[in-house]
Amino acid sequence: MTGTLILVRHGQSEWNLKNLFTGWRDPGLTEQGIEEARQTGQVLAAKGIVPDLYYTSALRRAQHTLDLMLEEMGILNVTITRNIALNERDYGDLAGLNKDDARKKWGEEQVLLWRRSFDVPPPGGESLKDTAARTLPYYEAEILPQLKAGKTVLVAAHGNSLRALVMAIEGLTPDEILAREIGTGQPTVYKIGPDGKLVERVAL
């Protein structure tokens, strides 16, 4: 028996639209982001997917995305587990800054290093390695046992917390995961075996 894991990055947020570093700041979804979430819910409903368990972060853009998806799937009155372990990477001093302004302040090369290195954090923030250090233990303790038991699990989270999960599930290197784009509102679906290992990545 295999479990099914559905990972969905939140729909476009107001700060995505404005090209701002977001991290643990808490902007809402744009109209496009709302539509992205609804469309993903419709896709999952059309595939007949009915999750057994639902997880999201402590940030409202991910929570709202999950709520909209469930609405489109016709799923009401379910228990949703929210946990800070699934939060976006904390961008520290970069949070709230326009990415172009950050480049002017610190230089193109330095900002690129903070954004695209695996283990170099921005001032006061987290690297992707740091993000993985809180996201993966939560996944392994709370979500993976459900998948091993054959459950279907839906996770609505963020670009970098999901990168940490994808890296572990697919066995990617730091360079490979940094090159992986995870689009807003886009689902990634995996079949996970009873040994906790990846069986296949499912195309929707």
Tokens of 39: 């469309």
d(CA 107, CA 56) in angstroms, rounded, equals 34
SS3 category, 164: helix
Question: Residue 90's beta-bridge partner residues?
Answer: none
Element (H, E) at 165: helix 159-170
Q: Are 202 and 191 in contact (CB under 8 A)?
A: yes
SS3 category, 186: coil
10 is catalytic: yes
Element (H, E) at 144: helix 144-148
Q: Are strands 53-56 and 152-157 parallel, antiparallel or unpaired?
A: parallel
Tokens of 70: 């469930």
71 is catalytic: no
Q: Which amino acid, one-letter code, is at 191?
A: K
Q: Which of 64, 88, 126, 158 is catalytic?
A: 88
Element (H, E) at 156: strand 152-157
Q: Which of 10, 72, 126, 158 is catalytic?
A: 10
Q: Residues with catalytic annotation? A: 10, 88
